[in-house]
Amino acid sequence: MRPIVCAAALAAAFLGSAPAFGQDTADSGADPAWWPEYTEFFGEFALEATLFPETPQFPGQANHAGSVAGEATLLAEWLDGDLAVEVTPFARFDFADQERSNFDVRTAKVDYAFGDWALRLGADRIFWGRAEAFHLVDIVNQTDAAEDLDDEDRLGQPMIRLARLTDIGEFSAIYFPYNRTRRFPGADGRLRTEPRVDDDAPIFEPSANRFAPSFALRYSGFVGPVDLGISMFHGLARDPSFTFDPTTGRLRPVYSRITQGAVDFQYTSGATLWKFEGLVRAGERDVTFDKSFFGAATGGLEHTLFGLFGSNADLGLILEYAVDSRFDDANTIFQNDLILGTRLALNDVDDTSVLLTGTGDLEDGSLAFRAEAERRLGERVKLSLEAQIFDLRSTGIAASLADDSFVRLKLGVFF
């Protein structure tokens, strides 16, 4: 079933690239009054090949993987842009891991703005936070852990959001009628845990289900060089804890009802950005399955050397640290970690850039290196390379990834 849906979505994406949709349609007199003033259709189709040089740890895991993915956005606007509808389906077909093949509606929303107020109905992605390596405060969307490890692929989250823009910043309140669960790689996929996670059998507690209502409040604003965000969240956690199910031999994700308060800020001082994110959270279970009230923080600095050696290239230096008051008991890998990174942007016509990061766990000495490089080829094609090397010392569940270093090449076609 799943491949068919994916294929259909991909086909739709391609058909959409035909010039059926005009740009500004307001002037064409033939259109009825309800017809949008502006429509646009755009998206991306991507081919991806991944090579795992090391022998897999677990039977059935592949040495290499290939996949195709497509994402298309249909945008329509009325009332001079005050009323907008946006739909973005996403589909991936992975030849190695069935669980990684999927179809998701990343965005399907109606935005309506009236004066200082803005109302949003539907699924969307919203990012909160400042830090580069670890997105601590970001909580609106569920992460798609099957898609990539970098915590930057997020699932569409249904919501009703009301926001008001004031002189000191924006205040928003969000109601989530439905909660997404995290997706994890399947048995054949690499980059998975052992025992693997049974994402079809989540547990919601206390006695909740996916429809348990969640709420969030956020203030976001800036004063001079300081950007500040303050947020509250109450509802089902996005980060699951895990419990071992002896009957299936798998881990079942447990989504608890949590309450958290968080701040994030950035101080921009010349070429140096100082970043901080911190939160306190109650109700989440840690790895010992205890519920604790805990605090976590991440932050650091990003300094850019502009015009490196007289060229037009910029070199960014990133230093961040992430800590969780539960330390070893935290159900995140960023519990006491130092992240060093460098971002080279050549600023050439093809926007060539390279990002290298190294994450070191100050508790057990595990290291993970990641490289991302990308370059545009012509007008609508982009080539990206992604590589990750693990040197894990941990004996915990994270050790399942020890042999999953990989190199991934991606060719994206944009329309």
Partner 1 sequence: MRPVTAEAFAATVTRLRYLLLALCIALVGVAMVPIGNIWPPDPSARIFFAPENPERQALDEYEAAYAKDDNLAIVLVPDDGDVFSPEHLALIGEITERAWRLPLVRRVDSLTNFQHTFADADGLVVRDLVEDPATVTPEEAAEAKAIALNRLEVVDRLVSPAADVSQVSVLFRLPGLKPTEEVPSIVSAARELVADVEANHPVDIRLTGAIMINNQFASSGREDSANLLGPMFVVILVIVGAALRSVFATVAVLIVISLSAMAGLGAAGWFGFRLNSVTVLAPLYIMTLAVASAVHVLAACRARMPETGDRRVWVEKALAEHAPAIAIACVTTAIGFYSLNFSISPPFRQLGNIVGTGVLAAMVLTLFALPCLITLLPMRRQSSAEAEPRLMRAIAEFVIARRRAVLPAMLLVVAGCAAGIATIKLEDDFLRYFDERYAFRQDTDFTEERLTGVNQLNYALPAGAPQGINDPAYLTEHAAFVSWLREQPEVRHVYSLTDTIRRLTMNMNDDDPSFYRLPETEEAAAQYLFLYELSLGYGQDLTDQINVERSAMRATAAINRATTAEMRALTLRAGDWIAENAPMMQAAWTEEHPERAQVTPTGVVHVFNLISYRDVRAMLSGTAIALVLISGIIMLSLRSVRVGLVSLVPNLVPAAMAFGLWGYLVGNVTLAIAVVLAATLGIVVDDTVHFLSKYHAARRKGASPEDAVRHAFLRVGNALLITTIGLVAGFAVLATSGFAVNGDMAKLTAITITVALIADFLLLPCLLIWLDKRKDAMPLRTATTSTAMMVTGGLLAIAACMADTRARAEDPAAKGLAIAEASDKRDLGWSAYTVEGEMILRDAGGGENRRVFENLLMEREARSEGDLSVIVFSRPRDIRGTGLLTHANIEPTDDDQWLYLPALKRVKRISSSNRTGKFVSSEFSYEDLGSQEVDDYTYKWLRNEPCPGAETLTCHVVESYPVNKNSGYARRIGWVDNAEYRQWRVEFYNRGDALEKVLTSHGYQEYAGNYWRADRLTMENVQTGKSTDLLFTNYDFSAGLDDGDFDPNRLARMAR
Q: Which residues here bind partner 1, judged by CB under 8 A? A: 42, 44, 75, 77, 80-81, 84, 86, 111, 113, 116, 118, 124-127, 130, 152, 163, 165, 169-170, 220-222, 224-227, 244, 263, 266-268, 270-273, 276, 278, 280, 288-297, 304, 306-307, 312, 314, 323, 325, 327, 347-349, 351, 376, 379-380, 382, 412, 414-415
Beta carbon of residue 10, minimum distance to partner 1 (angstroms, whole number)? 18
Beta carbon of residue 237, minimum distance to partner 1 (angstroms, whole number)? 17
Q: Which is nearer to partner 1, 364 or 403 (CB)?
A: 364
Q: Compute the C-alpha angle 28/34/39, nearest 5°.
A: 60
Cα distance between residue 298 and residue 334, in whole Å: 9
Beta carbon of residue 186, minimum distance to partner 1 (angstroms, whole number)? 25
Beta carbon of residue 129, minimum distance to partner 1 (angstroms, whole number)? 8
Q: Looking at the DSSP assignment, which residues form a beta bridge with residue 25?
A: none
Q: Which is nearer to partner 1, 56 or 158 (CB)?
A: 158
Q: Which is nearer to partner 1, 71 or 239 (CB)?
A: 71
- The number of beta carbons lying within 10 Å of the beta carbon of residue 278 is 17
Cα distance between residue 44 and residue 300, in whole Å: 33
Tokens in use for 41?
A: 């259709």
Beta carbon of residue 172, minimum distance to partner 1 (angstroms, whole number)? 8
| Ramachandran area for residue 249 (φ above 0: left; ψ -120 to 50: alpha; else beta) | left
Tokens in use for 286?
A: 């840690």
Q: Which is nearer to partner 1, 102 or 353 (CB)?
A: 353
Q: Which is nearer to partner 1, 63 or 243 (CB)?
A: 243
Q: For the residues of 288-328, what is the DSSP string, one character each?
A: TS-EEEEEEEEEEEEEEE-SGGGSS-EEEEEEEEEEETTGG
Beta carbon of residue 63, minimum distance to partner 1 (angstroms, whole number)? 29
Cα distance between residue 92 and residue 359, in whole Å: 29
Q: Which is nearer to partner 1, 211 or 244 (CB)?
A: 244
